[in-house]
Copies of this chain bind each other. A is one copy, B any other.
Amino acid sequence: MPLETKATITTFGGKLFKLSHPSSVTGTPMNLNLFVPPSALSKTAPAPVLIYLSGLTCSPDNCSEKGFFQHRASQLGLALVYPDTSPRGLSIPGQNDSWDFGEAAGFYLDATAEPWRENYKMESYITSELPSILFSDPEFGGYLDGTRVSITGHSMGGHGALTLYLKHQGKYQSVSAFAPIANPTRCPWGEKAFRGYLAGGVEEGKKHDAVELLRSGIWKGGDLKALVDVGTGDNFYKSGQLLPENLEAVVKEKGLEGVKVRYHEGYDHSYYFMASFSGEHVEHAARHLGLL
């Protein structure tokens, strides 16, 4: 079934499409936003794609409105895909009881614990079903070069970007993250998510933890092509939810190359932080996608 267009918005010379489709993976309708840069609007030069994974509580709209990725993506000829953060509208008990678990908090993994395992399959959705639908869509597929894709994300979405990049080697040409939950088995957000979504709890969560994945030696791909930005004024960083220093440590321990972790004095966890550096994350992706 083709993607349904809910809205078409002209911005930065390109078009932002608000789209929806039924998902057989999550069993629900799923929303996403797609930005097509001006260079690809004629469909004669399909654009490579940067997938942006949002953080806790977010929909596809938050970053589309506040992240400022379109500004530089328009100039460089990069398409942007903003998926949603979980299935929505199910009737699973507890799915709306807290802002950091359940709806809008899918953590980009396939759940193995009841009652979540039936629908909460954001890893399969993001890495398989969504690109399959999008890149073959009769209307929207022609805008996009599905062979050139990078991934980025913020907070929970930074966790998603890093772990999907590590687990699905070769699928994404580069990765970047803003304030990622880098070591979720060792922070309250991650522990809560893994205890809820995974039959094996936090121990099973190591399979969905960027630091533990690197520690396990899963990465065989050479240079990592990873850019990570963290604000030193970020209260979640200061309270130990993000742990980027553990990412730096495991990279060093394993002798891996190609990971740049930057700390920005005074910046917080918000879109004010992301908007300040989103242009550089677009450039990072563009370089690895052959646009720069």
Interface residues of A (CB under 8 A from B): 9-13, 16, 65-66, 68, 70-71, 231, 233, 264-268, 270-273, 275-276
| A271 to B67 CA separation, bound complex (whole angstroms) | 12
Q: Which of B16, B271, B273 contacts A10 (CB 8 A)?
A: B273
Contact between A272 and B71 (Cβ–Cβ < 8 Å)? no
Instruction: Chain B residues near A275: list those with CB within 8 A.
Output: 11-12, 68, 70-71
The residue on B at minimum CB distance from A274 is B11
A291 to chain B, nearest CB (A): 20
Instruction: Chain B residues near A231: list those with CB within 8 A.
Output: 10
Contact sample, A vs B, 20 pairs, CB 8 Å cutoff? A9-B268, A9-B272, A10-B231, A10-B233, A10-B264, A10-B265, A10-B266, A10-B268, A10-B276, A11-B273, A12-B275, A16-B272, A65-B65, A65-B271, A65-B272, A66-B66, A68-B68, A68-B71, A70-B275, A71-B71
Instruction: Chain B residues near A65: list those with CB within 8 A.
Output: 65-66, 271-272
Instruction: Chain B residues near A276: list those with CB within 8 A.
Output: 10-13
The residue on B at minimum CB distance from A15 is B266
A202 to chain B, nearest CB (A): 34
Tally of this chain's copies: 2
Instruction: Chain B residues near A267: list those with CB within 8 A.
Output: 10-11
A19 to chain B, nearest CB (A): 16
Beyond A10-B266, A66-B66, 12 additional contacts (C-beta under 8 Å) are A10-B231, A10-B233, A10-B267, A10-B268, A10-B273, A11-B267, A11-B272, A65-B66, A65-B272, A68-B68, A68-B71, A68-B275
A15 to chain B, nearest CB (A): 8
| A182 to B286 CA separation, bound complex (whole angstroms) | 41
Instruction: Chain B residues near A10: list those with CB within 8 A.
Output: 231, 233, 264-268, 272-273, 276
| A16 to B276 CA separation, bound complex (whole angstroms) | 12
A179 to chain B, nearest CB (A): 13
The residue on B at minimum CB distance from A233 is B10
The residue on B at minimum CB distance from A65 is B66
Instruction: Chain B residues near A270: list those with CB within 8 A.
Output: 9
Instruction: Chain B residues near A265: list those with CB within 8 A.
Output: 10
Most buried by B among A70, A265, A275: A275
| A65 to B275 CA separation, bound complex (whole angstroms) | 9
| A276 to B9 CA separation, bound complex (whole angstroms) | 12
Instruction: Chain B residues near A266: list those with CB within 8 A.
Output: 10
Q: Which 7 pairs of residues, A with B, have the shortest CB-CB distance?
A: A10-B266, A11-B272, A10-B267, A12-B276, A9-B272, A65-B66, A11-B276
Most buried by B among A16, A270, A273, A276: A276
The residue on B at minimum CB distance from A66 is B65
